[in-house]
Amino acid sequence: MADLLKDLDFYHLDDLIGQDEKMARDAVRQFVQREVIPDVERHFANETFPLELIPRMAELGIFGANLKGYGCAGMNNIAYGLIMQELEAADSGLRSFASVQSALAMYAIYSSGSEEQKQRYIPEMAKGKLIGCFGLTEPDHGSDPGGMETRARRDGDGWVLNGTKRWITNGSIADVAIVWAKVEEGITGFIVEKGTPGFTTSDIHGKFSMRASITSELVFEDVRLGKNNHLPEARGLRGPLSCLTQARYGIAWGALGAARSCYHCALDYVKSRKQFSRPLAGYQLVQRKLVDMLTEITKGQMVCLRLGQLKDSGKMRPEHVSFAKRNNVNAALEIARMARDMLGANGIVNEYPVIRHMMNLETVNTYEGTYDVQTLILGREITGESAFD
Ligand SMILES: Cc1cc2nc3c(=O)[nH]c(=O)nc-3n(C[C@H](O)[C@H](O)[C@H](O)COP(=O)(O)OP(=O)(O)OC[C@H]3O[C@@H](n4cnc5c(N)ncnc54)[C@H](O)[C@@H]3O)c2cc1C
């Protein structure tokens, strides 16, 4: 079988990446090759997440990699993106775990928490000793989180929380849930610890996508929270949306990892598979597909690299991230579907990673703002007209 993690760098973009970033990427690539790939199909088949990898991921500085202080690695955003790419070359579920831990849960506390909350939670989350999840979506509110029905009311010094969150990655394995709710003044965020009375979780089964990732429902029934559970700087929808911007950034990079794996797998396959008189790789229709794949991956890499530069220089806006998430995930999904087709019947079995990536990418296309929602964000940017309502 081909080395599915090998690089794909048609435009020599490596020349534009620093040594430290390459080292971070290569360390994660090696980890993925040795410790993730051998077992990933089993986890996908059994609907389990490889919990045993969490301490190793922490050692590699993956959790909160681009955050500064509080025990985080403080890498730049290019290094962070490259890491996400390597994780997703193995499985989108693994990258989702890292994204939720870092860009959603840790970042929510980092950007909206009190100093005491930051000191208490972020270092332990960086070590992988505390797992986080991020509860925004509800059964009846996905693309329109502003319509959320989860409510918190003041109760003396603290709060009482009621509501349901659904489709929450890491939900049942999380020690710390970031939960978004409406209060009198509007939307705000809370930190709810596992075991708090009235807080229960149940996992969603029967998924055909993201099977090596835990997805849960969170239920809050008269959950009493202290003053210290409230994120004091989380005011309005801007709170959760700023976290989504961070996560979408990692997704834009990550999806290219899955696409790269599919490309290498398809290329290897068509070089050795003979039909009619010669290898499939010798037929024009097949070459066209490979060229389309290479083109889209290379374009996506250039978008990511520039996006990372914008983020590192403080010039990145949410619309830049929407552009990259929309384009790269859509391209990755198309590449995975194309690769699946090129493998013929072998494209539907787990001897090859392609069908797993393809099914995972259906989720990646949907979560953190669907393809169409990113389109509406960009449409509003271009025209000044909001087409959401
Ligand atoms: C495996 C998995 C993990 C997830 N993890 C998390 C998590 O950790 N935390 C979390 O909070 N959420 C999570 N989600 C939820 C995810 O973010 C939502 O599924 C996503 O936002 C879409 O919401 P929805 O499923 O309710 O679809 P809907 O909002 O009902 O959308 C359905 C369709 O309608 C389209 N649509 C919606 N509004 C418009 C409009 N105005 N104009 C045109 N078309 C529109 C959408 O593009 C989509 O095609 C996860 C989802 C999955 C599948």
User: For ligand 1, is residue 364 a contact (CB within 6 Å)?
Assistant: no
Mutational pocket test of ligand 1: of 366, 375, 376, the residue with most ligand atoms within 8 Å of the beta carbon: 366
Q: How far is the CA of 167 from the centre of ligand 1 (A)?
A: 9
Atom of ligand 1 at shortest distance to CA of 389?
41
Can you tell me the distance from the alpha carbon of 370 to that of 246, in angstroms, rounded to the nearest whole number?
16
Q: Is 124 a catalytic residue?
A: no
Tokens of 281: 């790789």
User: For ligand 1, is residue 333 a contact (CB within 6 Å)?
Assistant: no
Q: Say which of 221, 368, 381, 385 is annotated catalytic.
A: 368
Bridge-partner residues for 158, per DSSP?
Answer: 155
**Cβ partners under 8 Å of residue 301, min gap 6:** 9, 11, 13, 256
- What is the per-residue pLDDT for 3? 56
Among protein residues, the one with the nearest Cα to ligand 1's atom 20 is: 367
Digit-coded pLDDT (tens) for 26-47: 999 999 999 999 999 999 999 9
User: For ligand 1, is residue 372 a contact (CB within 6 Å)?
Assistant: yes
User: CB–CB of 251/364 below 8 Å?
Assistant: yes
User: For ligand 1, is residue 172 a contact (CB within 6 Å)?
Assistant: no
Q: How far is the CA of 70 from the centre of ligand 1 (A)?
A: 32
Q: How far is the CA of 145 from the centre of ligand 1 (A)?
A: 9
- What is the per-residue pLDDT for 1? 45
Element containing residue 236 per DSSP (H, E) = none
Digit-coded pLDDT (tens) for 206-259: 999 999 999 999 999 999 999 999 999 999 999 999 999 999 999 999 999 999
User: For ligand 1, is residue 215 a contact (CB within 6 Å)?
Assistant: yes
Q: How far is the CA of 367 from the centre of ligand 1 (A)?
A: 5
Residue 184, classed as helix, strand or coil, is coil
User: For ligand 1, is residue 379 a contact (CB within 6 Å)?
Assistant: no
Q: Which residue has the tokens 């040594």?
A: 19
- What is the per-residue pLDDT for 5? 60
Q: Write the CA distances from 58 to 51, 71, 387, integer angstroms.
A: 12, 11, 41
Can you tell me the distance from the alpha carbon of 328 to that of 250, in angstroms, rounded to the nearest whole number?
11
Tokens of 171: 């939900």
Mutational pocket test of ligand 1: of 137, 325, 377, 385, the residue with most ligand atoms within 8 Å of the beta carbon: 137
Atom of ligand 1 at shortest distance to CA of 171?
8
Among protein residues, the one with the nearest Cα to ligand 1's atom 42 is: 388
Q: Could you tell me where the DSSP H helices lie in 189-283? A: 238-272
User: For ligand 1, is residue 303 a contact (CB within 6 Å)?
Assistant: no
Q: How far is the CA of 349 from the centre of ligand 1 (A)?
A: 28
User: For ligand 1, is residue 143 a contact (CB within 6 Å)?
Assistant: yes
The residue type at 257: G
Q: Which residue has the tokens 């509860």?
A: 135
- What is the per-residue pLDDT for 4? 53
Report the chain (389 residues): mean pLDDT per 10 consecutive residues: 70 96 97 97 97 98 98 98 98 98 98 98 98 98 97 97 98 98 97 98 98 98 98 97 98 98 98 97 98 98 98 98 98 98 98 98 98 98 95
- What is the per-residue pLDDT for 389? 83
User: CB–CB of 85/162 below 8 Å?
Assistant: no
Three-state helix/strand/coil letters over 153-191: EEECCEEEEEEEEEEEECHHHCCEEEEEEEECCEEEEEE
Q: How far is the CA of 147 from the centre of ligand 1 (A)?
A: 13
